[in-house]
Structure 1
Amino acid sequence: MQNPSPRPPAPDPDDRAAAEVTGDAPTVVVLGGTGCIGRHICAAFAGHGYRVVTVARHPAPRVTPHPHRSLDLRTAGPPVLRALFDDERADVVVNATDMAGATDTTGAADGGEARAAELLDANEGLSRRLVDALTGAVRTPRLVHIGTIHEYGPGDSGVPLHEDVEPAPVNAYARAKLAGSRAVLDAARSGAVNAVVLRLVNTCGPYPTPAGFAGKLLPTLRAAAVAGEPPAITVGDAMRDWIDVRDIAEAAVLAARRPVSGHAFNIGSGVCVSMRDLVGHALAAAGLPDSGVRESTGQLRSLGADWIQADIGRARALLGWSPLVPLKQSLRDMWDAGETSR
C-alpha cells in the first residue's frame, strides 16, 4: 500500500535484547520510554547502536533491556532535568510523552477549564522546562519532540495537511500539544536549542495505547474471538491517515541524526483510509467476519476532522524517511502481539 517491499516486522521491543553498545556509543534519553510509542523508539535507537535510557514515573515490567530513571516529568524542574541529561551524557533526548493522556473523544480532551489548564501545563509546561534544561546542558543534546497532526486543526477535506498550514486546533488537547511544539520550535529557531518536532497521524501497530481507536478496537476483537461471535462495531463516516509505530520510531532516529533543527515534520502514511476499511482489515487480521460492523448515521466525536491525510514530502526530502510498514501488516502485528501498552 505504501511500499511494495516493507521491512520485516520488528521483534517485540519488550522482549528483544538491547543491541550491544561500546563505551563510546551515543546515548539517547527517552522521556516516556515505557509508553506505546516510546518503547518502539527505544528499540529503534538500540538497533542503531545507541545506549538507551528510559525515563518515566515507574519502570514497565516488560520494558526491560534498558537502564531506567524514575522521574515524575509533570513536576521535574529544569535543574533536575539538566542534571539527568548531564549525568547520562545524553546526545539525544526524545520527548515521547503524551502527558495528560490523549483520548479519541473531544469530551475527555475538552472537559472544561480545569482540564484545559492541566493539558496545557503537562504539554507546554514540560516543553518549556526541557528547553530551559537543554539550554544549560553540558553536551547540548538534540531534542526530538513528538507532537500530533491534530495541532493543525481540521483542515480542508481532500487537501493533505502540510507543515506550512497555519495551525488552528479546535480542542483543548490539540491546543496544548501545539503550545508544546511551538515552545520547542521557537527555541530551536532562535538557536537556544537543537530540536525538531514530529507530528504524528493516527497510530497503529503492536501494543497500541488503550486510549486510542486501535487500542480500543483490539480488546473488542479479542473478546469476539473468545466468544466465537462477530463483534458489534460502530464506525463513523471518516477518512484517516494511519502510521505504524515502528515507522515512527525510525523517523525519530533519523530526526536525531540529520542537521534539521527548527523544523516540524509530518509523520504519516500519506494515504487516507476509511474507518470502515481500517476495521475490515483489523477483522481480517483477527480471522473474524465483518458482518457486525455498521457505519454511524451521525458524527462520532473525535479529536480530529472527518478527513485527515498528512503531506509527508518534507520528511522524505530532509530526513530521508518513508513509511515502510503497510497498514494490513501493522494490524496483523497488532493482533499477533495480543495486548495494548500498559
Structure 2
Amino acid sequence: MAGDGTVLTRRPVVAVLGATGSIGMHLVSAFEARGYRVLAVARKRSPLVAGCEFIELDLSATPSAEIARILTAADAPLMVNAAGGWLASLEENRLAHVEVVERLLGAAALMPAPPRFVQIGSIHEYGPVPHGAVIDESFEPKPQTPYGLTKLAGSNAVLRATRAGHVHGVVLRAVNVFGPGAAGGSFLGSVVRRLRELPAGDRLRLKVSRSERDFVDVRDLADAVVRATESAVTGRAVNIGRGEALDMRRMLELLVVEAGRDPGALELFSGPVDSKGGDWTRADVRLANRLLGWAPTTSVRQSLRDMWEAAAER
C-alpha cells in the first residue's frame, strides 16, 4: 500500500529480449514506467539499461531449454522480442529473425504455462505495394528482400505457436522507426551520424530516391508494445505506424532544420538506392487503435529533434 492509502498492484515480470538495441532500450523504459519488473536480455551489457535486472545471453547460440530455465526462474510470464535489426546477408537475417524466434518459441513450449509473447515485426513483411496503397492487415504478405522474408518467417512462427497453444502471441508490424537512439544501420540514423561528423563548412552529398515512407517514433512504438502486452489480443498481426507517407527529401530537410545546421550542409541528388523495402509505405493503423487503444502522439519534428540530440548525448 502506498503512503496515500492507494493499493499497489504488483505487475508481472516482462523479459525484453534484445534489450540494449535501439528499440529494446525504449521498451525497458516504457515497462519500468508502468511499474513492471524488467528482465533485460542481450548479448552485452549496456549502461542504457543499467537500472534493471540484466542477463548477458546470446539468444542465437543458447538452447531453448536453457532459455526456458532462465525465464522460468525469473518468473517471467511476459516476453517481448526486440532482437534483430538491419542486417546485410540472408544468413545474418535468417539467424536473427528466424532462428532466434524459433529458439524463443521452443523455450516458451517448455515453460510451466504459455507466456504472453509480443513479436516486433515489420511493415516490410508485406513487400512492395502499389504507390498510394494504404496497407491494412488484409494485405497478403509478399516480401522480396532478405529482411522482409526473414521477418515474415519469424512472425509466422509466432502465429503458428499461438495456434498450437505454446504462447499467447501477437505480432506488431512496425513501420520505419525513428526518434532518439535510432539504429545506426537505418537510413536516418546513418545520416545523423554523418552530419555530426561533418567538418564545419563542408557539405554532405546524399543520393535519395523518390520515396515516401511511413515512420513511427520509437517511444510511440514502445507504448504500442506495452498496450499489446497488457491486451487480450492474440493470434494476429497488427500494424503500427503514423498512418502517413512522408517524403524522404522533406524528412532530410526537416532534420537539418531541427539539428540547427545550415540548410546548405546537405546536398541531395536523385537516384536509385538500396532499400529493405519499397519506395512507398503507408500503414493503416485503425486496427491498432480499435484493439489496443493506441495512436501515435509524437510529431515528426519532435522525433527528428530528439534523434539529433540523443546522438550527441551518446
- Normalising by structure 2, we get a TM-score of 0.92
- Which amino acid in the other structure matches residue 319 of structure 1? L
1:23 Cα offset (Å): 9.4
- Which amino acid in the other structure matches residue 136 of structure 2? H
| Secondary structure at the counterpart of residue 270 of structure 2 | coil
* 1:227 paired to 2:190: no
* 1:102 paired to 2:76: no
Name 1:218's counterpart in structure 2. 192
Name 1:302's counterpart in structure 2. 275
Give the one of 74, 82, 86 matched to 1:88: 74
| Secondary structure at the counterpart of residue 173 of structure 2 | strand
- After TM superposition, the structure 1 = structure 2 runs for residues 187-336 of structure 1, keeping only pairs within 5 Å, are 187-224=161-198, 227-336=200-309
Name 2:41's counterpart in structure 1. 55
Residues 32 and 95 in structure 1, CA contact (< 8 A), matched pair in contact too: yes
| Secondary structure at the counterpart of residue 131 of structure 2 | coil
Deviations 1:276-312 (A, max 9, x none): 1110110111112333545443321211111111111
> Among the aligned pairs, what percent are the same residue?
39
- Which amino acid in the other structure matches residue 102 of structure 1? W
Name 1:74's counterpart in structure 2. 60
Distance 1:237 1:143 in 2: 37
- Calculate the aligned-residue CA RMSD, in Å: 1.8
1:76 Cα offset (Å): 1.2
Residues 86 and 139 in structure 1, CA contact (< 8 A), matched pair in contact too: no
Name 1:172's counterpart in structure 2. 146
Equivalent pairs counted in the alignment come to 307
1:220 Cα offset (Å): 2.0
* 1:30 paired to 2:16: yes
| Secondary structure at the counterpart of residue 120 of structure 2 | strand
1:138 Cα offset (Å): 2.0
Residues 237 and 295 in structure 1, CA contact (< 8 A), matched pair in contact too: no
1:36 Cα offset (Å): 0.4
1:229 Cα offset (Å): 4.1
Residues 207 and 271 in structure 2, CA contact (< 8 A), matched pair in contact too: no
Deviations 1:65-114 (A, max 9, x none): 1110011111112101111110110021110001xx415xxxx3xxxxxx
Residues 205 and 268 in structure 2, CA contact (< 8 A), matched pair in contact too: no
1:119 Cα offset (Å): 2.2
Distance 2:66 2:280 in 1: 42
- Greater shift, 319-328 or 287-296, is seen at 287-296
- The verdict on how the C-alpha distance between 1:339 and 1:261 changes in structure 2, with shifts beyond 3 A counting, is farther
Distance 2:91 2:184 in 1: 23
Deviations 1:126-171 (A, max 9, x none): 2222222112212432111111111110011101111121111111
- Greater shift, 211-220 or 227-236, is seen at 227-236
1:237 Cα offset (Å): 0.9
- The verdict on how the C-alpha distance between 1:340 and 1:204 changes in structure 2, with shifts beyond 3 A counting, is farther
- Normalising by structure 1, we get a TM-score of 0.85
With a CA cutoff of 8 Å and minimum separation of 6, indicate the structure with the bigger relative contact order. Answer: 1
Residues 231 and 292 in structure 2, CA contact (< 8 A), matched pair in contact too: yes
Deviations 1:259-288 (A, max 9, x none): 011111111100111101110110111112
